[in-house]
Structure 1
Amino acid sequence: MNINRRLYEQKEVILHYLRDRAAESYGEIIKIHGERDFKKRARAINKAIKDKAQTLRTIIIQRSIAQSWSKTEILNNILMITYCSYVIMIEYRNRTWPYEYMAFARRIGELWEPFCKNCFDFPARDDVELVEPPLFSEVREQLQQEIREYIENISLSELEKNQLLKYYDKVWSLVTSGEIKLELDLHFRIDGKNYNVDFKSGFQSNEKGNTNRLLLVASIYKNILSENNECLLFVRTEEDDNNHYLQILKKSEVWDVYCGNETYSQIETYSGFDIASWIAANIEWEKDLDQDTLTHFNENDLVKYLSW
């Protein structure tokens, strides 16, 4: 396969190449795990396809630097390699361990997030900068130091200051009974402003725990770290007004929530790439999946989940 800046226009070539590579790997995997251990075979072939896709991504990045590809050419190729690898992973997972509706609906959602994040890993805009999220331990230490310095400068007796600090430490002991993970799915900076993004394939009726965590994390970003932090929730599916937990986040003052087409519009705004148009032009699950997989999906009413 000739990897060049126009490779993304050759979807069938990429699919054929990845299928051949997957077939080679699958033959070796069966020798190792046998026919019965379908879960181990599924994990192994999934890893083999991901590794091959990563190799292609590495070659694309290397050649893009050497040959001065445009940002859009790089991203077009990365997206096409990613999508084609998904097609092959779905085919071989279904061959090894046939999908039922819950596993397949979840899998389609899981694949969507890293696909979208490609737009920020290889942004079309020049001013998008990926950043590392802060550690909660660092935030805690900084805030504790600020409070202690403030208390030290209050006109109180030493006994009163010590008592106030004692109460302050008791409150912290409640807040930090468990470490708080501030890392979300994506963190980037534009023009000195930090954006913290969480991707959700859909919002279910049992999202209470996740909703509470999201509110806590966003509150730390917005109210403790600085007002220079924006928290964005990108939801794949269109959501109605009856989704209680999603409405809580929408009405909060710490999250900006976008669903369905709004999400794709926001991704374009921040990354500079029209991912909605790319999906419409290139993602054709029912055309690109092999016939055995499609037959299983049609017989088990799974085709309806093939939608981004």
Structure 2
Amino acid sequence: MNIDKTIKDRKIELLSYFRDRASEALSSIKTLFAETQSDKRARAINENLNQTKSVLITTLLQQAEKEKWDNKEKLECVLMITYCNIVVMIESRNSVRPYEYMDFSRRVGELWDPFCKLCFYYPINNLSLFIPPLFSEVKKKITDEITDYIDNLPLSIEDKQALKTYYAKVWSLVSSGEIQLELDLHFSHNGQKYVVDFKSGFGSNEKGNTNRLLLVATIYHNLDENYKCLLFVRAEENNSYFNTLKNSGIWNAYCGNEAYQKIKEYSGYDLKNWTSTNIDWASDFNTETTAHFTDKNLLQYLLW
């Protein structure tokens, strides 16, 4: 496999390479796990293919560093490698444990999120990633501020202690444990910090997740750094849970083509155009996989 800038246009070669690697791996995996252990076979082949992808991308980035490629050149190569890896992962998983609609629709959504994030890992625009704050750090900072404020009030020691006790009770109502402030992506652009959550779509049982996202966004909005919260959803059609977040005033929520437009606005790269030009699931899958997905009516879930 020759690694250079042209790899972004060598889809057929990459698919063949990943399939050869998958075939080699499956021969070994089948000696380790019986047919009844299809879950373990599937997990092992995914791990093997992801390792192959990582080696290719690492090699590519090393070459890019030597030759001083720009981010657009790197991104388009990484997108093609990643897409071909996904195609063969789905094929290989389907060969050891045929997909049904529930696990397939979920899997497609899981793969969309990291694929979109590549535009921010190799951005065209001038943006930078940052590490999100820990909830424990945020809680300590706010608690210290409130404690200092109470200590300076013209109250008795007993009254001050009572206020601190009530304040501690409020924290206990917010969460019985630590709140996860880390979302899918965190970046800075033009002096503004953004936190992003990617979602494939909203099902009928999203109440808990919706409430969590509202809580997390509320915390971010009350921090001094003035974060903005973005929600990018793959599905064009969504339900009341999406609308709750969209109308909350604390989430900037976008779905379908609108989400792709925002990815382009912030990262500088037109990912929608890339997917329209390069992705053709039904043709890129091998014959066996396409036949299975057609028979089970699964191709409808592959709308990126």
So what's the TM-score if we normalise by structure 1? 0.96
User: Superposition pairs for residues 72-151 of structure 1, below 5 Å?
Assistant: 72-125=72-125, 127-151=126-150
How far apart, in 2, do the equivalents of 1:159 and 1:297 lie? 70
User: Superposition pairs for residues 194-273 of structure 1, below 5 Å?
Assistant: 194-223=193-222, 225-226=223-224, 228-240=226-238, 243-273=239-269
**SS of the counterpart of 1:53?**
helix
Cα deviations across residues 204-242 of structure 1 (Å, max 9, x unaligned)? Answer: 12110000000000000002x1362000000001125xx
How far apart, in 1, do the equivalents of 2:225 and 2:270 lie? 29
8 A Cα contact 1:185 1:198, kept in partner: yes
**Structure 1 consecutive aligned stretches of length 4 or more whose deviation exceeds 3 Å:** none
Identity %: 52
Equivalent position amino acid for 1:47 in 2: E
How far apart, in 2, do the equivalents of 1:226 and 1:235 lie? 27
Which runs of 5 or more structure 1 residues have no equivalent in the other structure?
none
How far apart, in 2, do the equivalents of 1:185 and 1:171 lie? 28
Equivalent position amino acid for 1:88 in 2: V
Cα deviations across residues 144-188 of structure 1 (Å, max 9, x unaligned)? Answer: 000011111222222222221222222223324221110111111
Cα deviations across residues 61-119 of structure 1 (Å, max 9, x unaligned)? Answer: 11111110111110000100000000000100110000111111111111100000101
**SS of the counterpart of 2:5?**
coil
**SS of the counterpart of 1:55?**
helix
How far apart, in 1, do the equivalents of 2:54 and 2:294 lie? 31
So what's the TM-score if we normalise by structure 2? 0.97
8 A Cα contact 1:222 1:228, kept in partner: yes
How far apart, in 2, do the equivalents of 1:168 and 1:113 lie? 38
8 A Cα contact 1:205 1:244, kept in partner: no
8 A Cα contact 1:6 1:73, kept in partner: no
Equivalent position amino acid for 2:233 in 1: V
The Cα shift of 1:300 comes to 1.2
How far apart, in 1, do the equivalents of 2:27 and 2:159 lie? 74
Counterpart residue number, 2:61 = 61
Counterpart residue number, 1:180 = 179
The Cα shift of 1:191 comes to 2.4
The Cα shift of 1:139 comes to 0.3
Counterpart residue number, 1:29 = 29
How far apart, in 2, do the equivalents of 1:101 and 1:205 lie? 16
**SS of the counterpart of 2:231?**
strand
How far apart, in 1, do the equivalents of 2:73 and 2:93 lie? 30
Say what the alpha-carbon RMSD is for the aligned residues.
1.1
Cα deviations across residues 4-61 of structure 1 (Å, max 9, x unaligned)? Answer: 0121111101111111111111111111113332111111011111110011111111
Of residues 35-44 and 254-263 in structure 1, the stretch that sits farther from structure 2 once superposed is 35-44
Equivalent position amino acid for 1:304 in 2: Q
User: Superposition pairs for residues 45-60 of structure 1, below 5 Å?
Assistant: 45-60=45-60
Counterpart residue number, 2:302 = 306
